[in-house]
Amino acid sequence: MTIHIVQPGQTLYGIAAQYGVDPELLRLCNGVPPDAALAVGQTLVIETVQTLHVVQPGQTLSAVARQYGLSLRQLYRNNYWFHGMPDIRPNQTLVIAYEQEKLGSTHTNGYAYPFIRRRELSASLPYMTCVTPFTYGINAQGGLLPLADGVILEEASRLGAAALMHLSTLTEEDTFSSQRAETLLSDVKRQEAILRQVQAMIEAKGYRGVDVDFEYIPGTQKDNYAAFIRRLRAAVSPLPVLVALAPKTWDGQPGLLYEGHDYKQLGAAADFVLLMTYEWGYTYGPPMAVAPLPDVRQVVDYAVTVIPREKIWLGIPNYGYDWPLPFRQGTTRARSISNQYAVELAVKHRAEILFDEQVQSPWFRYTEDGVVHEVWFEDARSMRAKLALIQEYGLYGAGYWNLMRPYPQGWTLLNAMYDVADVWRF
């Protein structure tokens, strides 16, 4: 795999000729639009095909996969443009294998709201070991809020991704509630009641584990939170429990986001943890990278001192932000955008995409209606740097927040770097 940086005057077809690859395949793998428009500084993942297959009359994708000894999920991963759908036609060309030297195998998990477009869901699920519908929140009485997760569970079953139940302190207003967390964590009887509801939901819907995300917990509740996770783990055993952790860099880090998350206790109580290594750049903050690599490293460096490496999922952001300038604290609000849309903005406004080597993140500026905007997002370079940490540190896998936005290049890159585990083992 090669990551090519588009230079002034270059075209998709010229780049394809430079590397001896098919231009249409290059376009599809990188989410380039049909008109093949590129931005200066844009990344393209270049892969050389090793084996191709031309579909014969009457053949199915499953039959082709069996013919070459591939899983159907791997065949989908090699051919993103099928979007996880089984329909093929005679004379279509399928990529059976690329010339790849992968870093190894890894597990992946992706989060999705119930209103995700089915096309985006089915396109990304072959790249996910697990998928987690977001979220079963907690109501004022301490019970579970409902979640319309039927489509996600249906597609997960069809495409072989294990579904995890997501439990959080999100309210009906889509905000995390410190009060509801404290009420639950300080009352064992309430905990027992909600654990019975979780057990019933797992049995009814076939979930393969529980993913817990309690945010903004008062520091006074950190011991109670760890005790709750121990109770949950015992209640759903032998299924695993995963706990999301705020991105701490030391044990006593102050702030409501951090104080209730005791890495050592939660790492011992749960089967797995997710490091939420994103949101340094966020909606109400100043323009900056969503996940600066040095900051991500600091979190991992601390986590591995108190949690076994093989328990850790690394959080991966699948989004960027667009800030109007000048930035005014308390007034300016950035909009969240997909990585693909960020490139489309650069193309539209003929902006050059720059790359900050220190934080390992792309960014650019453009002007619209007289307003200057600054955009930070993820591209193949920044994604490669983060995904490489999994192999470097010996972590369990990657947790993508989230699957709602299309990102063909991101899945192409993941497939080039790792063999994604097709079976959820724990």
289-317 tens-digit pLDDT: 999 999 999 999 999 999 999 999 999 99
How confident is the model at residue 423, as a pLDDT?
A: 85
344 labelled catalytic: no
Tens digit of pLDDT at every position of the chain (426 positions): 999 999 999 999 999 999 999 999 999 999 999 999 999 999 999 999 999 999 999 999 999 999 999 999 999 999 999 999 999 999 999 999 999 899 999 999 999 999 999 999 999 999 999 999 999 999 998 899 999 999 999 999 999 999 999 999 999 999 999 999 999 999 999 999 999 999 999 999 999 999 999 999 999 999 999 999 999 999 999 999 999 999 999 999 999 999 999 999 999 999 999 999 999 999 999 999 999 999 999 999 999 999 999 999 999 999 999 999 999 999 999 999 999 999 999 999 999 999 999 999 999 999 999 999 999 999 999 999 999 999 999 999 999 999 999 999 999 999 999 999 998 877
Separation CA 302–CA 251 (nearest Å): 8
Nearest residue to 401 via CA among 303, 300, 291, 309: 291
Domains of the chain by start residue, with CATH: 2-98 (3.10.350.10), 104-324+373-420 (3.20.20.80)
Full strand arrangement of the beta sheet holding 335-337: 335-337, 320-324, 371-376, 361-368, 354-356
Query: Active-site residue among 47, 155, 215, 378?
Result: 215
